[in-house]
Structure 1
Amino acid sequence: VRTDSGPNHEIRIEGDVLEVVSPDQNRQQTDIFIQSDGSVYPRQFAGLTLTDYSDDTIQTVNFSPDGPVENLAIKLQFTSDRMGQTFDRWLAVAPTSYSVVDMGPAQLELVQATTNDEVQELLREPNVDLGIAGTLQLGDRTIDVAQTLNQPIQLANGIIATITHVWPDFRLDENHQPTSSSDQFRNPALQLNIAQGEQPQAWFIFARPGFDPIRSGDRISSEENALAESIGELEKALEQGAIYTAPQPTTNYFRVVSTPEHQLLYAAKSSKGFQSGVLTEETSIRPGWADMRIALVKQLDHAQLQRQTVPVAPVASGTMESSGTPALHVSDSSGVSSWLQWGTPTTVETPNGSIFAAFSPKLLTLPFYVKLDDFIVERNEGSESVAMWTSQVTLFDPETDTAVQRSVWMNHPTWFRGWKLAQASWNPGDLQQSTLQLKREPWWVTALTWLGSLMVVCGIMVMFYGRAIARQLKKNVIPISRTTEDSTTSFSEGV
């Protein structure tokens, strides 16, 4: 469970399942058992043959030229004689995750420009005088964003503008709220609030050419002609003339720009300087990263992303840590085969139609929801060693519409609706995550467990101390004296 996610009511249990949806929409599911030698049981299921299993597979990426829509993709080749290696990298306009690729100390970019002004801006040499957050141009006024952040900017006729937020890599989160996915200025944007009296108005201004400013909220209205004219001029300036110039990336980069005429240009930055020019398949570029050379291998105008799962060749034990994903290899009666990566639904195209298959963990649905409110790590005083970690959770019962808050830490579980929740592990690199262990354990099972433990303790005590206690009890018995015995005998004879 995580603090930044919603309530969860599914738990991972031991085992895996294979779910298959045939071309006639018939859905089937079965448990999968992996033997120690890698064999799979069952061998046949839902018209598929389960032929193999691998603990370590990866997905290779390729682009085919038969895409249904226009989508630019290029394949670059990198060669280093000093390192004795040659490797390839794909860049594509879509998906966006392939338009910017990190490659160690450098960054690769592919941008499709829509205007010649945008082309010139993308090929411009980085300006080191733009400040740490760039500049905002409002008409004939240039504003340093970092120095004026959250500071009121006085404009004409009592209008006040304030730069409230700067997002280096603008995105919308799952709640459709602005956020930045990184600290790199890849898609910079800022929020400019303007106000006249109590009438606020927010503007989102983007540094990327071709993205017009967006107004959030109603227009500021005024009955005074002069003020209304001033506000109208300001809004027109924001819509047409507001320019946010963000600082260029300080890291090394190689940027490929596609012009409106579909010509490829490049801009490269390194510690040795900046260069730009035309990129063709005959061009060999030395960007200044040691002895690295870059060449254009392939250009596709209608590229379509293709992924293929392949097993990783085994290496000697301890040589390299496995970083791949388990996968199940299946084939159908026509001979079409595919690797199904664990946790990733896959569509297998066969002559008889598309088969949807998923090799996934076995999940169990709980009768209640668990929400991680906070994860607290306590450390020993004077050191960074961990003393204890605690999960503060909220347990919600949908049947009774009630919620309770509990704290769970090591050797201190909690019970809810016949389930035992215990702290299993935690991730030192991510304190927003906690792993809980859930066990079906009604109260009478717990009582029997404690009773059994008590009996074990009593048995151990009897085993070690039973004889000594028995001897002590024998010593404390008072013996009957001889005189008492004689008196008792005489009394009996007299009677």
Structure 2
Amino acid sequence: MEIAIHLEGAILIAEDVDLPMARSNPSEQLGWQRNPVFEFFASLKLAVVLLGVLIVAAIAGTIWESSFDAKVARAYVYGAPWFNFWLVLLVVNLAASALSRWPWKKYHLAFLITHLGIITLLAGSLIGRVFGTEGTITLFKGEPPTNRLLVNERQLRVHDVDGIIKGYAAEFLHHPPNPQHPRDLGTLASGARLQIVEYAAAVAANLNPKPLAEGGAPAVHFIISTAMMNQRLENWLLADDPEHGKFSMGLANIELKHGTAELGRDGAPRRPSSTSKNEEIDLEESIFAFSKAPDEQIGHVRKGGSTGAKIRLEPPEHGSKGRVLVSLGENETSFDVAENLGREVKIDNLPFTLKIEDYWPDFRIENGKPRSVTDQANNPAVLVTISGKAVPASAPTTENPHGEMPTTSGPAAMPPTGAETPNRLTLFVADDGAITYQLASRKAGKSSGKIDINPATAGLPTGWADWQLKIDKVLPHAEAQTDFTPVNAENIPSAADLPDGLRVRLEQNGRTIEQWVAAGWQVTIPTTPNPTMIAYGWKIVPLPIGLELLDFEVKRNEGSDTPASFKSTLRVTSAEGASATGSCWMNHPFSFPGSALHTWTGQTYKISQASWNPENLDQSTVQILRDPGWLLKWIGSLLVVIGVFMMFYLQPYRKQTEGEPILPIAKVEEQTRETSLVSAER
């Protein structure tokens, strides 16, 4: 419907050009044309008001869309009921304006064509909006065809006890429900009353294992904390569970397995090769440095090998961001963080350049990612990249007493994507509940032992800076159960990555059950005679066609891993058995059915490449668009252009009215009466 906003100029032109066509003698008008209601809807004043409001709304919608997103603009402007009502008034005004010229003359033709074009365009937009289809489908290579289209609308889906899946609109951009004013969704087949009690913009999912008498898997609750960062993390782990058996801290992993660790020294140490090359090669290394832990740094070799550089971050003073000290051999250079953030600068007397990639005044690890929780310099950290051409730093020849060798004389190298992190802790829970561990640390090497289940005792030093781990709960038999809790998005930076959620309430037989449901999740609520399953997420619309991903290709720029383009090859099948195979890539959609009749009437499905998953090249997301009002929009636009051209450039369709001023109807009637009186007196 946004197209209609751009027509105000054409409408005003049509009205202004046709002003001379208005009758100066009301006696020529028909009775229904002199009706006050009809005159109101046909008036130019109403058109000006309608267009003025639409222009202001279009400006507001554009600002909201750029400041927030398209959903906000649709909710408050383009998709709001008042906007639809306003457009209907505009159509009525255009139709009444055209009828006010009845009976039509030849010079009315351009005016009528213009108005008909605008009405046709608005009708096409309305048809496309009501009966059209737009959404996305994520496909996986090797899976059967699917017709489940995800639409950009939130929906609460309930799998009722009668086997029917019921959908309820759940968009809460304005006026979200609250405990005082819940949204009542009615009564389910089980007799339970369903309500949406509350909406949260961010909901965290936490594993809360359910104890079992027997069976299931062991579960352990641990607490790991650091005094340096003033941070405390806790979580449940379920033994040997692919989803809940690991906890990632980004630079370290914790895993729980069923069994007992091998106590004692874990094999012979790995020694580096005694041979080395003195050839200069391209080196690139990224290094984390911490102000409160000057001896702790974490490096990631991106190219060639380690530079051997030692990075230290001096504590910030007087509101500054501190200085980075780069030491290599006898050379030491200092750089101001604020002045050089994001810049690539040369390191004096060394064949390297330095770039300060990022700075965190209050460093924390959340969801495996570095973040700054405040703007205060409570735990400053910096990430720098050093690159240049030199001989890689050689590994030391001294053996680590814990049985592990550092990789270089510089900072320990971060593992590549998909590789096992050198900082890892594997916990083992035995049948009798005893806990043993195997610990690997870049700093402390490898070790193993037993852990007492006693929160009062000192924790296990991990060797990962000053992180210490304690175990306070053990369940010998448990099954996975997830609890959802709302979080304050303003106070937790990582909340931006969390899904939104709803708190639903079910009332049945005098019993009330409330539970949070996060977007993309499904929960089961115990009701009689059968449990009720509730899911919250994007609205799912079944299509009359099925899509299957046959192949997905990614072309990369020569000499790099940067993708140049990606293409999906699809097979589309209709319910009638018709099928077609085609490919779509950026700006090159694939249409089904592809006949000219279906295309021109807007009955075809246009399939475009939407996105892809770099970590899974057997996955592709495509956009589906079907607009049955497409032809009317084009016809309407063409009629507007033709009508305006005729009014301005074709003489037969322009009525000449020089010397004939247009007067209001009341004034004309007054002059007519005066003329009649003068004639009577004569």
TM-score (norm 2): 0.44
Question: Within the alignment, does 1:268 sit opposite 2:444 as a pair?
Answer: no
Which is worse superposed, 426-435 or 319-328? Answer: 426-435
- The question of whether the paired residues in 1 share the 8 Å contact of 2:196 and 2:502 is answered with yes
Q: Counterpart of 2:423?
A: 252
User: Which of the numbers 541, 545, 553 marks the counterpart of 1:364?
Assistant: 541
SS at match of 1:303: strand
Residues 308-334 of structure 1, C-alpha deviations (whole Å, 9 max, x = no match): 111122417x96662222322221232
- The question of whether the paired residues in 1 share the 8 Å contact of 2:460 and 2:469 is answered with yes
Residues 223-251 of structure 1, C-alpha deviations (whole Å, 9 max, x = no match): xxxxxxxxxxxxxxxxxxxxxxxxx9561
Q: Aligned partners of 1:298 and 1:374: how far apart in 2?
A: 48
> What is the one-letter code of the residue matched to 2:428?
V
User: Which of the numbers 293, 296, 303 marks the counterpart of 2:468?
Assistant: 293
- The question of whether the paired residues in 1 share the 8 Å contact of 2:210 and 2:480 is answered with yes
Which is worse superposed, 365-374 or 122-131? Answer: 122-131
Q: Aligned partners of 2:495 and 2:200: how far apart in 1?
A: 15
SS at match of 1:404: strand
Question: Within the alignment, does 1:62 sit opposite 2:212 as a pair?
Answer: no
Q: Aligned partners of 1:308 and 1:265: how far apart in 2?
A: 28
CA 1:395/1:96 → structure 2, altered by over 3 Å: closer, same or farther? closer
Q: Counterpart of 2:176?
A: 38
CA 1:55/1:450 → structure 2, altered by over 3 Å: closer, same or farther? same
SS at match of 1:454: helix
Q: Aligned partners of 2:631 and 2:494: how far apart in 1?
A: 48
TM-aligned CA deviation for residue 51 of structure 1:
1.6
- The question of whether the paired residues in 2 share the 8 Å contact of 1:389 and 1:409 is answered with yes
> What is the one-letter code of the residue matched to 2:471?
L
Which has more strand, going by share of residues? 1
Let me know the Cα RMSD of the aligned residues.
Answer: 4.0
Q: Counterpart of 1:149?
A: none
Q: Counterpart of 2:379?
A: none
> What is the one-letter code of the residue matched to 1:310?
T
Which is worse superposed, 419-428 or 69-78? Answer: 419-428
Question: Within the alignment, does 1:329 sit opposite 2:482 as a pair?
Answer: no
- The question of whether the paired residues in 2 share the 8 Å contact of 1:19 and 1:27 is answered with no
- The question of whether the paired residues in 2 share the 8 Å contact of 1:388 and 1:410 is answered with no
Q: Aligned partners of 2:237 and 2:420: how far apart in 1?
A: 18
User: Which of the numbers 396, 399, 402 marks the counterpart of 2:579?
Assistant: 402
Residues 15-63 of structure 1, C-alpha deviations (whole Å, 9 max, x = no match): 44434345x5464624324341213754434211222222321211123
Q: What are the equivalent positions in structure 2 for 1:101-250 lying under 5 Å apart?
A: 101-113=247-259, 119-120=261-262, 124-125=265-266, 127=268, 129=270
Q: Counterpart of 1:452?
A: 636
SS at match of 2:501: strand
**Identity across the alignment (%):** 22
SS at match of 1:399: coil
Q: Counterpart of 2:449?
A: 277
Question: Within the alignment, does 1:2 sit opposite 2:139 as a pair?
Answer: yes
- The question of whether the paired residues in 1 share the 8 Å contact of 2:489 and 2:496 is answered with no
SS at match of 1:50: strand
Q: Counterpart of 2:239?
A: 93
> What is the one-letter code of the residue matched to 2:438?
A
Q: Aligned partners of 2:641 and 2:592: how far apart in 1?
A: 25
> What is the one-letter code of the residue matched to 2:186?
Q
Q: Counterpart of 2:488?
A: 313
Q: Aligned partners of 1:368 and 1:344: how far apart in 2?
A: 26
- The question of whether the paired residues in 2 share the 8 Å contact of 1:379 and 1:385 is answered with yes
Q: Aligned partners of 1:82 and 1:383: how far apart in 2?
A: 40
- The question of whether the paired residues in 1 share the 8 Å contact of 2:568 and 2:620 is answered with no
Question: Within the alignment, does 1:436 sit opposite 2:620 as a pair?
Answer: no
- The question of whether the paired residues in 1 share the 8 Å contact of 2:223 and 2:234 is answered with yes
Q: Aligned partners of 2:271 and 2:257: how far apart in 1?
A: 22
Q: Counterpart of 2:196?
A: 50
SS at match of 1:98: coil
- The question of whether the paired residues in 2 share the 8 Å contact of 1:123 and 1:266 is answered with no
Residues 122-166 of structure 1, C-alpha deviations (whole Å, 9 max, x = no match): 76526555999xxxxxxxxxxxxxxxxxxxxxxxxxxxxxxxxxx
TM-aligned CA deviation for residue 290 of structure 1:
0.9
Which is worse superposed, 460-469 or 449-458? Answer: 460-469
Q: Counterpart of 2:605?
A: 420
Which is worse superposed, 26-35 or 362-371? Answer: 26-35
Q: Aligned partners of 2:546 and 2:537: how far apart in 1?
A: 22
Q: Aligned partners of 1:100 and 1:33: how far apart in 2?
A: 34
> What is the one-letter code of the residue matched to 1:98?
H
SS at match of 1:68: coil
Residue segments in structure 2 that go unaligned for 5+ positions in a row: 1-137, 274-418, 655-682
Residues 250-286 of structure 1, C-alpha deviations (whole Å, 9 max, x = no match): 6111122345665322221212222222211345321
- The question of whether the paired residues in 2 share the 8 Å contact of 1:284 and 1:293 is answered with yes
- The question of whether the paired residues in 2 share the 8 Å contact of 1:73 and 1:303 is answered with yes
Which is worse superposed, 284-293 or 448-457? Answer: 448-457
CA 1:324/1:262 → structure 2, altered by over 3 Å: closer, same or farther? closer
CA 1:352/1:332 → structure 2, altered by over 3 Å: closer, same or farther? farther
> What is the one-letter code of the residue matched to 1:254?
L
TM-aligned CA deviation for residue 337 of structure 1:
0.6
SS at match of 2:496: coil
SS at match of 1:257: strand
Residue segments in structure 1 that go unaligned for 5+ positions in a row: 133-247, 471-495
TM-aligned CA deviation for residue 80 of structure 1:
1.1
Q: What are the equivalent positions in structure 2 for 1:330-345 lying under 5 Å apart?
A: 330-333=504-507, 334-345=511-522
- The question of whether the paired residues in 1 share the 8 Å contact of 2:155 and 2:536 is answered with yes
Which has more helix, going by share of residues? 2
Q: Aligned partners of 1:250 and 1:12: how far apart in 2?
A: 37
Q: Aligned partners of 1:261 and 1:382: how far apart in 2?
A: 56
Which is worse superposed, 1-10 or 300-309? Answer: 1-10
TM-aligned CA deviation for residue 97 of structure 1:
2.8
TM-aligned CA deviation for residue 88 of structure 1:
1.4
Q: Aligned partners of 2:163 and 2:607: how far apart in 1?
A: 39
- The question of whether the paired residues in 2 share the 8 Å contact of 1:34 and 1:41 is answered with no
- The question of whether the paired residues in 1 share the 8 Å contact of 2:155 and 2:171 is answered with no
TM-score (norm 1): 0.59
> What is the one-letter code of the residue matched to 1:366?
L
Q: Aligned partners of 2:563 and 2:528: how far apart in 1?
A: 58
CA 1:70/1:43 → structure 2, altered by over 3 Å: closer, same or farther? closer
* Count of matched residue pairs: 345
Residues 176-201 of structure 1, C-alpha deviations (whole Å, 9 max, x = no match): xxxxxxxxxxxxxxxxxxxxxxxxxx
> What is the one-letter code of the residue matched to 2:498?
G
Which is worse superposed, 41-50 or 298-307? Answer: 41-50
